């Protein structure tokens, strides 16, 4: 359980983020994927991360400090309709720079809505992470919206898609902010990486 969760600052680029002296974990995903809800769920805070942010408004990296030990970076959502096409998608250069150059970044949690079939923008982003050798995990969100059969089907679909490009799968979590599923696994994983 996280005893202390504090907002530190909002930054426009990685060079403005807090000094990189604590291990950092970034959360990212398409707009509306349930990122804010997940962050609030795992930290057991009602509105630490702001839910339902307006698409297209200023994109900032929000840094939170957990138990004086590690940082959580809430990255802007991507995948807005007005975004340009291509690998970069609607994804801001500053986010790519953050992920590539942020020294204390330990792991990226990429959130994916478990109801959807594999989307090009997410797959392309994973490919980019792979090319840059950035450690990442996938978190399938909104588990409560599916039956377990549908969930398995969608998860398998994703695995098949990933194995076309990857020799092994990244670590996969499933979560539901409404049913409070996935918290222990995600926090446990972060704790395990913090001690190694
Ligand atoms: P963000 O834009 O990625 O930060 O997404 P939000 O956390 O604001 O969530 C977007 C919408 O999905 C909101 O209406 C949430 O209430 C809803 N939502 C988020 N997580 C869950 C979940 O686990 N289960 C269900 N049923 N709805 C969720």
Ligand 1 atom 18 nearest Cα:
34
pLDDT confidence band for 76 (50 / 70 / 90): confident
Q: For residues 108 and 174, give the distance between their C-alpha atoms in angstroms, rounded to a whole number.
A: 15
Pick the CATH number of 5-195 from 3.50.30.40, 3.30.1330.40, 3.40.50.300, 3.10.20.30: 3.40.50.300
Q: For residues 190 and 151, give the distance between their C-alpha atoms in angstroms, rounded to a whole number.
A: 24
No. of H helices and E strands in the chain? 5, 7
- Residue 3 CA to ligand 1 center (angstroms) comes to 24
**Tens of pLDDT, residues 133-184:** 999 999 999 999 999 999 999 999 999 999 998 899 999 999 999 999 999 9
Q: For residues 17 and 72, give the distance between their C-alpha atoms in angstroms, rounded to a whole number.
A: 11
**Tens of pLDDT, residues 102-116:** 999 999 999 999 999
Q: Could you tell me which of 61, 136, 144, 143 has the C-alpha nearest to residue 97?
A: 61
Q: What is the ipTM for the molecules in this complex?
A: 0.99
Q: For residues 165 and 68, give the distance between their C-alpha atoms in angstroms, rounded to a whole number.
A: 38
Nearest ligand 1 atom to the CA of 181 is 23
Phi-psi region of 133 (alpha: psi -120 to 50; beta: other; left: phi over 0): left
Q: Which of 27, 32, 37, 46 to mutate to test the pocket of ligand 1 (most atoms within 8 A of CB)?
A: 37
| Predicted pLDDT of residue 47 | 87
- The b/e string for 38-51 (b: 16+ C-beta within 10 A; e otherwise) is bbbbbbeeeebbee
With a 6 Å cutoff on the Cβ, whether 137 touches ligand 1 is: no
Phi, then psi, of 172 in degrees rounded to 5: -120, 130
pLDDT confidence band for 77 (50 / 70 / 90): confident
**In the block, residue with structure tokens 């930290």:** 43
């Amino acid at each position: 359980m996280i005893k202390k969760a504090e907002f530190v600052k909002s930054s426009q680029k990685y060079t403005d983020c807090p000094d990189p002296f604590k291990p950092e974990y970034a959360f990212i995903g398409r707009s509306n994927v349930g990122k804010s809800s997940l962050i609030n769920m795992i930290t057991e805070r009602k509105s630490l991360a702001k839910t339902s942010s307006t698409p297209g408004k200023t994109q900032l990296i929000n840094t939170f400090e957990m138990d004086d030990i590690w940082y959580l970076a809430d990255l802007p959502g991507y995948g807005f309709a007005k975004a340009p096409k291509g690998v970069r998608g609607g994804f801001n250069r500053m986010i790519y720079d953050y992920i590539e150059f942020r020294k204390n970044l330990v792991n990226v949690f990429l959130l994916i809505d478990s109801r959807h079939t594999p989307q090009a923008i997410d797959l392309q982003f994973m490919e980019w992470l792979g090319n840059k050798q950035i450690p990442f995990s996938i978190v399938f969100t909104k588990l409560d919206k599916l039956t377990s059969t549908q969930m398995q089907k969608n998860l398998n679909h994703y695995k098949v898609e990933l194995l076309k490009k990857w020799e092994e799968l990244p670590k996969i979590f499933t979560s539901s902010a409404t049913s409070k599923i996935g918290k222990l696994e995600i926090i446990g994983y972060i704790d395990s990486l913090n001690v190694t």
